Amino acid sequence: MARRGKRGRSGDASPSGSAGTGAAGASGGGPRRRRRRRGRGGGEGRGTGAGSGPQAARNPTEREFSCGGVVVRDGACLVIEPVRPDGKRLWALPKGHPELGEDPPTAALREIREETAVVARVRERLGEVVYWYQRDGKRIRKTVRIYLCDHVEGEPEADGHEVRVARWMPLAEASRALAFPGDRKMASEALARTTGGR
C-alpha cells in the first residue's frame, strides 16, 4: 500500500535492480518476526506530486521501493488496517521494503506473512504505483510494485503492533474501499484478471 516505509533503510532494492517478473514460491513457514520499523511515510494520500521549479531543485530527492500483493481467495482479497502515527484508520494492501539482497517477489510474500500470518504464492506481477511525498524536508519518490498472489494457507491475523486489523474483503469492495488510489487500481486490476475480464 502506499504507505509507511518500514525500515530505516530506503533503497535496499530498486525496481531496476531486482528481478521480479516471474512467479515465486510460497512464503516460508515459521513464526512471524517482529521488527522495529519506522512509520509508513506519507502514504499516497499525502503525496505532493513531482513538483518543479526552484523549490523542487533546492529540496534533495530520495527514492524508495516497496513491494506487496493482492492475495486472492474466492473472489476476496487480503486487506489490512495499519497502525499509523496520525491515528487515522484506513484500509490498505500489505506491503513493505525488501531486505538487503531480497528480490521483490520474495519480499512481497514475506511482508504479507509478517503482517497478516497468511502464506501466499505469487501468480504474476500486477503493476507499479509511483508517487511523491515529503519527509524531513526531502522529496521522496516512492515506487510500489504489487503482485497478484494466491492464498496458500492461514487465516488473517493482525500482529497488533504495525497492523490493527487483517481480513478478507471482496475484490469489488476493495476497489472502492482501499484508501490509496494505487491500491484501488491494483485491486481493480486483480478483479479483472481473476474474473476473466482480460
Sign of CA dihedral 45, 151, 20, 127: negative
| Total domains in the fold of the chain | 1
Residue 163 forms part of a structural domain: yes
Residue 164 forms part of a structural domain: yes
Residue 103 forms part of a structural domain: yes
Residue 143 forms part of a structural domain: yes
Residue 187 forms part of a structural domain: yes
Residue 178 forms part of a structural domain: yes
The per-type count for the chain, helices as H runs and strands as E runs, is 4, 6
For the entire predicted model, the pTM comes to: 0.73
Task: Return per-residue pLDDT of the chain as tens, 198 residues.
Answer: 444 444 433 333 333 333 333 445 665 555 555 554 444 433 454 443 444 444 545 567 899 999 999 999 999 999 999 999 999 999 999 999 999 999 999 999 999 999 999 999 999 999 999 999 898 889 999 999 999 999 999 999 998 889 999 999 999 999 999 999 999 999 999 999 998 644
Residue 175 forms part of a structural domain: yes
Domain holding 144, by residue range, is 44-194
Rounded to an integer, what distance in angstroms lies between the CA atom of residue 166 and that of residue 83? 11
CB 95 within 8 A of CB 120: no
The CATH number assigned to the domain holding 79 equals 3.90.79.10
CA angle 159, 114, 155 (to 5 degrees): 70
Residue 113 forms part of a structural domain: yes
Which conformational region is residue 97 in: left (phi greater than 0), alpha (psi within -120 to 50 degrees), or beta?
beta
